[in-house]
Amino acid sequence: MLFEFIKTNRAELIARTRARVATRAAPRPTENELERGVPLFLDQLVETLRLSRSTNDELSRSAGAHGGVLLRAGFTVAQVVHDYGDICQAVTNLAAETNTPITVDEFRTLNRCLDDAIAHAVTVYAAQRERSIADEGIQRLSSLVDEIRTRLSTAKLSFELLKQGHVGVGGSTGAILGSNLRTVCNLLDRSFSDLRLASGKDHQESVLVSELLEQVEVDGSIEADSCGLTMAFIAGEPGLRVKVDRFLITVALAGLLQNALKFSRVDGHVSLGISSRDGTVVFEIADECGGLAPDKLRDLLLPAEQRSSRTPSLGLDMARRSIESCGGRLLLRDVPGTGCVFTVELPLAEAVA
């Protein structure tokens, strides 16, 4: 049994892993990593293997706690990724040399545990990093650059691990890669929206609604698939046009759609429908979040400074300001027991001759 094999050969595996880590060019190994880190990484992998037959919740809690321990001990996310990989290689090599059979199921379990351990450590690292940036009050631009670099660095590490074939694209590491790439896009979109609004310049143009939604539909479909949700786009009459700042409205609609996907129940359904009435083009985004209490419903669309401290922004303040800057308005209604519907109304533009 793989679990027993690793426990029995703990000392040999630690020695082999230390030898691999010591010769690594980047990230350069530290004394703390060699002396304290390698045994800690191996013991955590053994614990994860032990829990591999437990519930997913138990395994996730354990892996998340492991990530927190490693990062509080001063290990970087690069060390976490590489050292878990080195341990996996040491286990595989020793088993081959001693003619210890590892079944296909055991090898899959080892890779899955490795995948989950890395993914949860990276997730904990990202969460701690975000809190640290917020607490320190770093200037907005510096914070943006730092956050993007962190996300891209994590994405690159995940990609390298996938490229090496240690874990599958459809596993936790692949999900982390996709999540970080989406976060980078959202950070850039929101930051440039803020700059665009602050400039006060008019960038409005007559835009076909079908063109406006092209990227929103692509990104929304990918996001829905990654969340295990179904997504429906209900097109309006062909040829509808609005006079808007294309960038601001695209980002606003994408943000509203992301919120709908994020808060909908598992296996839920989200839709984006388009229609026209009374000189306006209406976009309706319906989710299955379960509904909201009336006081929270009113609070959500208030300006940030007027909202209750208990009510999250969800990026709605930016979306509302973007829509209003184009002469439109953002509305929200509750469908009791089902979810919420965000309605965006924008002035209908005349067709281009």
pLDDT for residue 126: 64
Look at residue 274 and tell me whether its pLDDT is greater than 50.
Answer: yes
pLDDT for residue 278: 86
Mean pLDDT of the chain, nearest integer? 78
What confidence tens digit (pLDDT) does each residue in 197-220 have? 777 777 888 988 988 888 788 888
pLDDT for residue 103: 81
d(CA 318, CA 118): 34
Regarding predicted confidence, which is higher, 15 or 67?
Answer: 15
- Please give the average per-residue pLDDT across 277-306, as a whole number: 79
- CA angle 186–190–193, rounded 5-degree value: 140
Bridge partners (DSSP) of residue 280 are: 277, 347
pLDDT for residue 200: 73
Residue 67, both tokens: 């990530």
pTM score above 0.85: no
Look at residue 288 and tell me whether its pLDDT is greater than 90.
Answer: yes
- Please give the average per-residue pLDDT across 336-349, as a whole number: 91
pLDDT for residue 283: 95
- Please give the average per-residue pLDDT across 144-171, as a whole number: 72
pLDDT for residue 45: 75
- Fill in the amino acid letter for 283: F
Using pLDDT thresholds of 50, 70 and 90, give the confidence band for residue 353.
very low
What confidence tens digit (pLDDT) does each residue in 228-246 have? 899 898 877 888 899 998 8
Look at residue 351 and tell me whether its pLDDT is greater than 70.
Answer: no
* Domains parsed from the chain with CATH numbers: 2-195 (no CATH), 205-347 (3.30.565.10)
Using pLDDT thresholds of 50, 70 and 90, give the confidence band for residue 195.
confident
Look at residue 302 and tell me whether its pLDDT is greater than 70.
Answer: no
Look at residue 352 and tell me whether its pLDDT is greater than 80.
Answer: no
pLDDT for residue 314: 55
